[in-house]
Structure 1
Amino acid sequence: MSQNMKNQVTHRHWILVASMLAMFMAAIEVTIVATAMPTIIAELGGFSQFGWVFSIYLLTQAISVPVYGRLADLWGRKRVFFIGTGLFLTGSVLCGFAGTMGGLILFRAVQGLGAGAIMPLTSTIIADVYPPKERAAIQGWLSSVWGVAAIVGPLTGAWLVQHFNWALIFWVNVPIGLVSMLLLGRYFPESKSTGAHRLNLTGSGLLMLSASALLVALLQAQSLAGWIVGGLLLLALLAGAMLVRHERRSAMPLFPLSIWRSRVLLAGNAGNLLIGAAMMGISAFLPTWIQGIHGGTPLQAGSMLAMMSIGWPLASTLSARLMQRTSYRFTALLGSLLLIAGSGLLLTLQRESPIWHAGVFAFVIGTGMGMTSTTFLIAVQNTADFAIRGVCTASIMFSRMLGSALGTAIMGAVLNYNLLVRLPQYQDPVQQVMSHSERQHIAPAGLEIMLDQIAHSLHWVFVVSVLMAFMSLVVSRLIPARRPD
């Protein structure tokens, strides 16, 4: 934090409230929309496009995060936050007026473009107004928003679609976003880099092209033809190579060269890439175990996942005290060990295991993720200069999103390969056991075989998650063995 800004800030608590409101708005968007999607599909139709409602939001959010980070350093945090939040709220309003599934997907893209500013900018603003010793504790408060959203989102979404029009699940963001903008407009003193005000448009375009091609290939691999996926991956590789070449020659690189020269910044990005990938082992595939193997309900699956969202902010808050008493490295290593333990415990799940076991294991994984992610973020923010803090924070968020897409693709491929080898005579066996109507028509003996083989296949998915957790342990050793200054 610059001394000039430190002297201007007199209402930090209101800035924190504004940041938490913005974070809550982005966090609840995921859970509240997922709850309402069956109702939306029943009215708009287009079930075949269901996946794009979520994929397009993730795609546009991910590719815009680094751009907003650089803009925040050039134009100032407040101005860019207003641009991003305004775009997000505009998309939210338009989503409520969507009359077709195609229109909803288009407006979700607009939402995602705005959401790319909210996550990195709220963390950067907090880093600007709080000194290094306080940042970890405050980031814990921001993380707690996700735990609240994990509980409030599904309940609010279910209540709104039951008693009102589904459009309200999008419009509920508007008052929250406006209050956040008003508070930051009133209490946050604008500060920005005094360097040249230029945006690397060529680098931004190449990054968007490379990231878009990669994420579309990964997220839609199962629904696209093989040659299309291959073409997208080749395009991502070529655009990435051109980006690297351009960045080396650019006077104003999109990602500062110091990111690639600093061991801390490299470790922070690599660690969040692995955290995002490992997280998908539970977020995407644990519900399959609960509903498919155990025969649980969607509510039970959602409740077990909520345990991860509860463990995350609790550990994030605890990590602040640990960093002050020990070091960045110790806290990151402890978080990695918890992540390994929780992922390893998933391997002990059996068909007869009580559902609450999955919740306990999810909680342990959440504590590991909360501890490691917060430590990596604080270490990076405390290392980066003020002039590049925005883009460095954005790079952390981008790495986690990219890791989530990579993790989903890798683990999905592992699951599909195992199912193909173990159950070659069945087409889409997971869908058959997940669907109540289809499951009733499967012979008991055949159902037992399918459940056993699907369970073994899911175990291999959890093995991949464990391996990624071990890799985070290696990366954690690159973090400095010192306390926050």
Structure 2
Amino acid sequence: MDKTKRPLVLAAVMLAMFVSAVEATIVSTAMPSIASELGGFAKYSWVFSAYLLMSTVTVLIYGKLSDIFGRKRIFAIGMLLFLFGSLLCGFANSIEELIFYRFVQGMGAGAVMPIATTIVGDIYSREERAKVQGYLSSVWGISAVTGPAIGGILVATVGWEYVFWINLPLGLLSLMGVLLYLKEPVNKKKPVIDYKGAALLTAALSSMLYLLVEGGVSFDWLSRQSLILLMASMLFSVLFIWAEHKAIDPMMPFEIWRNKTILYANLVSLATGVILISISSYLPAYVTGVMEQPAAIAGFTLTAMSIGWPLASFFSGRLLLKIGYFKTSLTGGIFLVIGTLLFILMQPEFGPLWAAMSSFFVGLGMGLTSTAFIVSIQAAVSYEQRGSATASNMFMRNLGSTIGVALLGSILNSSLLRYFAANGQNYSLSSINDLLSVDSRAEISGEALGFLQQALAGALQNVYLVTALFALVSFILIFGLRGQKGVKSSVK
């Protein structure tokens, strides 16, 4: 470790964070334009679900593999796979192709953020981590500010394909920095890979995801298909837990969850993952389709969250050391509740400034909680478990986002279909495509435009109600951290 050039490695890790941040915001900003061109609004949420499913499943695998084979090698594999998927996404000719390529991209994405974060935990001392992780989160958020703006510009000029292709030069530069300047200790342990656990987890999440996305749309919630999918997901989940307890070197070492800090931080991250994906996935559709604002303005409303996040992250590391873990996290939980309540109150005539203010408060909440969680979790375990522990937190947030985008997508689609039926209209979900661009809105009558906008606004209102519920759950769960005063090591 002594030979590691920390400033250069930190710069490379920051660039990896930039790639992840751009991916999180730039695709959401471009999705209305992509859906308008490729069609398939009914499969809108699958573009996010496919990416999130694979990144959620693989994050634990990559975390364990990085503990076995080293951070550098696994980071390289993940980054290259992510960039290959990004390249393919730009060549998609249909929504189905894009969804498939997002699977590929997600397979690599599972390595980028958690291993980059773990590398920082490896090369900096416990005292340094609070400050450095705050900087990392700030850089992540600041870079995310540029994502919506870049997305809006690219869509309006060269095309949405470059939303994915912009990852290529940045990702390669980050990869070169890690490969050249990070020096790792030689690991002489014989590798034992938990293939059974990986397969069971994939099966459990896939069946649950399909139920959440298609339930109430392709089949009724109270149907044989729903019951079969629910039972399959539960069975595979139980088998996964059983397999992990029996595994020699499990993908998810459940003993680390006995630590109170890790347990509650991960449970809160599950809830905040739902909140994060709700805002980033569906806010652009509201601003573009209901408020009739261009992609650049829709991006601005997400940018506000990306401003609040780094601002709060900058102070989070310092607050963690001064006022304690519980009070820092509780403050973040309050901001999350305020932000989601503002979304419930939002009306089309309030304009994009209200949407931006709401997402800003959510960003403050995310910044205060996420930085504190990572710092405390990494301090609670040894080097040999740090990759798995960090990955467990990323996994829970990704799992929340995976469940969230599927559940909220199903709520959105079923709410639209119910509204159409209740008003005796024969519209399909694909009709919403007409709201997502200026040209297509101009081709429909004023009466149809008003009806569809009212339908979309009402459906998204239901989405925000569920989002606020998860914010309340996260706030309550934070009380489980009472008594945690700061960065402590209690897992050996």
- The interval holding the TM-score normalised by the smaller chain is 0.7 to 0.9
Say whether 1:247 aligns with 2:244.
Answer: yes
Q: What's the offset of the Cα at 1:216? A: 3.2
Shift of 1:403: 0.9
Alignment-derived partner of residue 440 in structure 1: 445
Query: Which residue is 1:391 aligned to?
Result: 388
Kindly tell me: are residues 51 and 358 of structure 1, through their superposed partners in 2, closer, same or farther at Cα, counting changes over 3 Å?
A: closer
**Total equivalences in the alignment:** 476
CA positional deviation for 1:461: 3.8
**1:152-186: CA deviations, max 9, x gaps?**
33443454566557655444333222221221122
Q: Distance in 2 between matches of 1:8 and 1:197?
A: 25
Q: Does 1:262 align with 2:259?
A: yes
C-alpha spacing 1:130/1:222, structure 2 compared with 1 (3 Å): farther
2:422 aligned partner: 424
Instruction: Point out the more displaced range, 287-296 or 51-60.
Output: 287-296
Structure-2 residue corresponding to 1:481: 484
Work out the CA distance in 2 between the residues paired with 1:139 and 1:421.
46
Q: Letter of the aligned partner of 2:12 in structure 1?
A: A
d(CA) in 2 for partners of 1:89, 1:204: 23
Within 5 Å, give how 1:28-177 maps onto structure 2. Answer: 28-34=22-28, 52-96=46-90, 103-160=97-154, 164=158, 168-177=162-171
CA distance in 2 between partners of 1:244 and 1:270 (Å): 17
- Which residue in the other structure is 1:465 paired with? 467
TM-aligned CA distance change 1:263 to 1:350, over 3 Å: same
Q: Which moved more, 1:30-39 or 1:135-144?
A: 30-39
Percent identical pairs in the alignment equals 38
Write the letter of the residue equivalent to 1:382: A
Partner residue, 1:202: 196
What amino acid sits opposite 1:442 in the alignment?
E
| Preserved CA contact (<8 Å) 1:260 1:266 | yes
Deviates more, 1:61-70 or 1:402-411: 402-411
Equivalents in 2 of 1:344, 1:162: separation in Å?
A: 32
| Contact 1:59/1:216 (<8 A) preserved | no
* Aligned residue number for residue 342 of structure 2: 345
The runs of 5 or more residues in structure 2 that have no matched partner are none
CA distance in 2, matches of 1:80, 1:439: 51
TM-score, length of structure 2 as denominator length = 0.85
Measured in 1, the distance between the counterparts of 2:294 and 2:368 equals 30
- Between the aligned partners of 2:83 and 2:468, the Cα distance in structure 1 is 38
Match of 1:183 in 2: 177
Q: Cα deviations across residues 89-127 of structure 1 (Å, max 9, x unaligned)?
A: 233344455566655544332222111100110111111
Whole-angstrom CA distance in 2 between matches of 1:333 and 1:238: 35
Q: Secondary structure at the match of 2:193?
A: coil
- C-alpha change, 1:52 and 1:360, in structure 2 (3 Å) is closer
Q: 1:15 to 1:339 in 2, by over 3 A?
A: same
CA distance 1:95–1:302, shift in 2 (3 Å): closer
Matches within 5 A, 1:1-16: 5=1, 7-9=2-4, 11-16=5-10
* Distance in 1, Cα, partners of 2:166 & 2:465: 40
Answer whether contact 1:90 1:111 (CA < 8 A) is retained.
Answer: yes
Structure 1 unaligned residues grouped into runs of 5+: none
Map Cα deviations across residues 410-437 of structure 1 (whole Å, 9 max, x no partner): 4455556666379712556995694635
Asked whether 1:236 is paired with 2:233, we answer yes
Give the letter for the 2:354 counterpart. Answer: H
SS in structure 1 at match of 2:20: helix
Cα distance in structure 1, aligned partners of 2:73 and 2:308: 34
CA distance in 2, matches of 1:242, 1:31: 35
Per the TM alignment, residue 42 of structure 1 is displaced from its structure 2 partner at its CA by 8.3
TM-score by length of 1: 0.86
2:328 maps to 331
Instruction: Tell me the equivalent position of 1:321.
Output: 318
How much does 1:365 deviate?
1.3
Instruction: Give per-residue Cα distances to partners, 1:450-474, cap 9 Å, x unaligned.
Output: 84x8756654543333332222222
What amino acid is the match of 2:401?
S
Note closer, same or farther for the CA distance 1:46–1:355 as it changes in structure 2 (3 Å cut): closer
1:382 aligns with 2:385: no
Distance, in Å, in 1 between the alignment partners of 2:382 and 2:251 is 16
Mapped to 2, the partners of 1:331 and 1:193 lie a distance apart of 37
Q: 1:101 to 1:416 in 2, by over 3 A?
A: closer
For the structure 1 residues 41 and 467, does the alpha-carbon distance in structure 2 shift closer, same or farther, using more than 3 Å as the test? closer
